Amino acid sequence: MLKEGMELIDAHFKDEGISRRDAIKMFGASGAAMLMASGATTEAKASSAVKAKILIVGGGLAGMSTAARFTNSLDNPDITVLEPAEHSTSYQPGQTLVGAGVWKNEDTQYNRDDFVPEGVTLIKEKAVEFDPDNNTVKTSGGKALKYDYLVIAAGLKLDFSKIEGLGITDTITSRGDDSAVRKVIGQNGIASIYFANGATDTWTQMQKFIADAKSGKKVKGLFTHPNTPIKCGGAPKKIMYLTDARLREAGARENAELMFLPNGGKMFGVKEYHDAIVNQFDARDMKWNYRHNLVGVDPVKKVATFNRHWKEKGPWDEDLEEYSIVPRSEKIEKEFDFLHITPPMRAAEEIAKSPVGSSKGWVPVNKETLQHVKFPNVFALGDIAAVPMGKTGGSARKQYKVVVENIISMMEGKELVSKYAGYTVCPLITSIGTVMLAEFNWTKKPTPSFPLDPTQERWIWWLLKVYALKPMTQYGMLSGRA
């Protein structure tokens, strides 16, 4: 009955449409009920009387949600959050919609201080030195903070400096000082939705691109995906789908060539979603070319340089009795009128080079318990954690409960029984009005929360994405209950 009802709702709204006011009323107010129906929302367990000093590094969505969960779960919580950024709790998934002119930046920006749980100590500084052997973290303001348990939820950095020709030397975060980056990204047809002002500038650059196509000019749009782990792996494709949709809306699609150039060899790591995306690209005449990593940009000439890489069969190996595999690569150049850059991403240097970091930068944890592989009283979650999947807000929604439950278990002298199963969700926007709700875990198989074919683009998921997920995230997760 639920399946039939949702299909009827989807078909009705697809045909009839719905006003923004009615959508906000229905999905904003009832969003929590939808999560409850899907089994996605759970209340915190009964509170525990155990005591310990808990330090959380990072006060974004993952960190503040963890702090809130602790306050709900402990009778006498002693929690400190280190977070210098004023807008750390802003809704980053909304930046894709800002980039396509569906939302404004103010629709996604929130003040950190509005979401600090009652009783939690907030220190508006960042961690600069970790000493896990002595349970101490030093801050940018010179403080030495002691802890019994440490939770690292520091997010990641955007590293445009890895791309030659842009003249960018520093890394940035999604919100903060982006002045040096914005001198280049957001100009001359170059865009990126991965930082807040960049998303606003993406819409400006996209409109110029569309205007050129509408005037009759033949234009080219390139969309990249780097050779590093990134947050929200679907976003590079989402902004491409939305560019296609805006071009069609303007009656200018036939004058634009759109090409996706990812470093990898697939559209998606889950076969069912990969196949669905390929079919969607074919239907929209959107092109792609795998194994291309963006390494340089000439902003004046509007030329992007890629490292195209592949493997060839090499000489016969008599000892192994098989042919060797030889890696090959070449630099190629492509002209563009619009270039959306998904920048390389990495952990903050002060974490990567510390005892709690790793050679790849990310904090190494057991992928199920999220406990550090070397330091038992250290945990990590969100973008900074070295797990096979999980750099999405939907993943953090599962992870923060695991971290809280396992730390409380340790405080009570019990075994760690809470496990993260690798749940990841990507509401893949495929047009203005449709979304494919891709949910999966470490099995790399679809794991839908609702009884509908998850490979189908649906209007109902557009309503969920545009009107329901933000309040669910901001007021559900950040209360420690969703």
- Evaluate if residue 44 carries a pLDDT over 90: no
17-26, 148-157, 420-429 — which is least confidently predicted?
17-26
- Which of 426, 460, 469, 482 does the annotation list as catalytic? 426
| Cα 370 to Cα 145: distance, rounded to the nearest angstrom | 22
| Cα 235 to Cα 434: distance, rounded to the nearest angstrom | 15
232 is annotated as an active-site residue? yes
State the chain's mean pLDDT as an integer. 92
| Cα 64 to Cα 197: distance, rounded to the nearest angstrom | 23
Cβ atoms of 99 and 342 within 8 Å: the answer is no
Confidence at residue 202, expressed as pLDDT on a 0 to 100 scale: 98
- Evaluate if residue 5 carries a pLDDT over 50: no
pLDDT tens-place string over residues 240-255: 999 999 999 999 999 9
Percentage of the chain with pLDDT > 90? 85
Per DSSP bridges, beta strands 136-139 and 144-146 are antiparallel
Confidence at residue 7, expressed as pLDDT on a 0 to 100 scale: 53
pLDDT tens-place string over residues 389-447: 879 999 999 999 999 999 999 999 999 999 999 999 999 999 999 999 999 999 999 99
- Evaluate if residue 201 carries a pLDDT over 70: yes
Read off the pLDDT band of 474 (50, 70, 90): confident
Read off the pLDDT band of 46 (50, 70, 90): low
77-91, 297-311, 415-429, 467-481 — which is least confidently predicted?
467-481
Read off the pLDDT band of 161 (50, 70, 90): very high
Cβ atoms of 236 and 243 within 8 Å: the answer is no
- Evaluate if residue 318 carries a pLDDT over 90: no
- Residue 88: how many other CB atoms lie within 10 Å: 24
pLDDT tens-place string over residues 253-268: 999 999 999 999 999 9
293 is annotated as an active-site residue? no
- Residue 167: how many other CB atoms lie within 10 Å: 14
For residue 74, give Cα distances in angstroms to 36, 50, 78, 119, 401. 24, 7, 9, 12, 13
Question: Can you tell me the mean pLDDT for 117-127?
Answer: 97
Question: Can you tell me the mean pLDDT for 271-276?
Answer: 98
The partner residues of 331 in beta bridges, in order of sequence, read 307
The distance from CA 248 to its chain's CA centroid, rounded to whole angstroms, is 27
- Which of 145, 232, 276, 378 does the annotation list as catalytic? 232
Percentage of the chain with pLDDT > 70? 90
Burial zone of 318 (CB within 10 Å; 0-12 exposed, 13-18 middle, 19+ buried): exposed
- Residue 118: how many other CB atoms lie within 10 Å: 7
